[in-house]
Amino acid sequence: MKAKTFPLSKAELDELVRSYPTPFYLYDEGALRENARAILRAFSIFPSFKEHFAVKALPNPFMLKILAAEGFGADCSSYPELILADMAGITGEDIMFTSNETPAQEYRAARDLGAIINLDDITHIDFLEKTAGIPPLISCRYNPGLLKGGNGIIGKPEEAKYGFTRDQILRAYGLLREKGVKRFALHTMVASNELNLDYHIETARLLFELAVEIKEKTAVRLEFVNLGGGVGIPYRPGDQGVDYGRLAAGIQAVYERIVVPGGLHPLGIHTEWGRVITGPYGWLVTRAIHTKSIYREYVGLDASMADLMRPGLYGAYHHITVAGKEDEAATETYDVVGSLCENNDKFAVQRQLPKIKPGDYLIIHDAGAHGRAMGFNYNGKLRCGELLLRPDKSIRMIRRSETVDDYFATLDLSALGDFFV
């Protein structure tokens, strides 16, 4: 069993909270960069490879700048996410715009930036032409329907709202060529938090076979396929993380079997991973402020589901350690909870932990993706900020905590006095 680690000692935390009180997110830049390099090394076996980091997983421009420096692009799905990528210096075809139910102005913004537009539906060809014009490079999102088994979180493809059917996608490339498109790509996204290598290799096979069929039936030669996101991370201490080398080798074997004889070599491989890029390198750092003993034993934290909603939303497991008590026996059974007036505001339910006292630091692991990003303000909760641990061990605040003024910022309170009821 691989122990879950945290880069700061209890003494270092004591020092840090004097400048930055809990709760906060902490990201480890050195570990993040090492992970990015390991991915690029493993996938360098392909003629061309591009990872477009899924901005929604960690929408902070400082983090995007680090990933861009490592050679990653961005996967955006909204206008603000496009702005974030642009702020971080990620431009042009380094941006993949994978959206759905896309508003006209967002297509226009994506075109202005020269992003690769990834269409979600056949009707969007006309919609795009009328609103933003058709760019010379277009990708289409494939929904394999019954051809692909379901995945725990994302569900069955035939029940998912995304993408084109097989018939539609075969028609779409011909239509796009008539409208002047010169360069083509194919995308799918059928998994979420999937640790099984074979599932991802099978997705690649599905896309490679379709790429060959597209070439045979429509004479359109794809420039690249995008395997989407969904690579899992080992949230539980016993889980086995994805081995990038084995994943790349598995995809390469299918590439040799299908792409090369199909006459599509060299075909680019793109991904838009989020979770596996930043998830394990971020922690939500909290403190116990209360313990409570009723029908169960509770530990109340200074953070809540408004800071990290995955446990409350999906019942997701996040490992928890207590700073300075890593080696103590887990003698207690706790529900670890936040302060929201919602009974699902629980970071852990009936979790075995060492004896906890108010003031203890509880470290919530694997919070670097879909963590702070999914935060919200229900119940008047203010979202916490984000700190970056730099490779030289210095700390940089990359987002401050919200204040009461932020909470009221969308109200025109000057008009309230004149508002008679």
Q: What are the CA-CA distances from residue 379 to residues 229, 289, 340, 384 (Å)?
A: 32, 19, 7, 15
- Which residue in the set 28, 29, 75, 106 belongs to the binding site for ligand PLP (CB under 6 A)? 75
**What SS3 state is found at 209?**
helix
Angle between helices 166-178 and 197-218 (to 10 degrees): 50
Q: Which amino acid does the sequence have at 245?
A: G
Residue 143 C-beta: closest distance to ligand PLP, Å: 12
Q: Is 192 in the site for ligand PLP (CB under 6 A)?
A: yes
CB-side exposure of 346: number of CA atoms within 13 Å? 16
Mark residue 321 as left, alpha or beta (left: phi above 0; alpha: psi -120 to 50; beta: remaining).
beta
Q: Is 229 in the site for ligand PLP (CB under 6 A)?
A: yes
Span from 54-62, 164-172, 301-309, 412-420 in contact with ligand PLP (CB under 6 A): 54-62
Give the distance from CA 11 to its chain's centroid: 32
Residue 391 C-beta: closest distance to ligand PLP, Å: 24
> Among 191, 192, 173, 169, which residue's Cα sits nearest to residue 182?
173
Q: 142 to 181, contacts with ligand PLP by CB under 6 A?
A: none
Span from 5-13, 225-233, 304-312, 332-340 in contact with ligand PLP (CB under 6 A): 225-233
Span from 188-196, 203-211, 334-342, 388-396 in contact with ligand PLP (CB under 6 A): 188-196
Angle between helices 29-43 and 244-254 (to 10 degrees): 20
The residue behind tokens 């691989």 is 2
Which lies closer to ligand PLP via its Cβ, residue 68 or residue 189?
A: 189
- Which residue in the set 54, 82, 306, 320 belongs to the binding site for ligand PLP (CB under 6 A)? 54
DSSP 238-256: TPPPP-HHHHHHHHHHHII
Residue 99 C-beta: closest distance to ligand PLP, Å: 8
- Which residue in the set 228, 280, 282, 371 belongs to the binding site for ligand PLP (CB under 6 A)? 228
Task: State how far the Cα of 106 lies from the Cα of 82, in Å rounded to an integer.
Answer: 9
Span from 200-208, 228-236, 314-322, 389-397 in contact with ligand PLP (CB under 6 A): 228-236
Size of the residue set binding ligand PLP (CB under 6 A): 17
Binding mask 369-388 for ligand PLP (x = CB under 6 A): x-------------------
- Which residue in the set 230, 311, 312, 368 belongs to the binding site for ligand PLP (CB under 6 A)? 230
Residue 51 C-beta: closest distance to ligand PLP, Å: 10
Please check whether residue 255 is in contact with residue 203, taking contact to mean a CB–CB distance below 8 angstroms.
Answer: no
Residues engaged in binding ligand PLP (CB under 6 A): 54, 56-57, 75, 98, 189, 192-193, 228-231, 272-275, 369
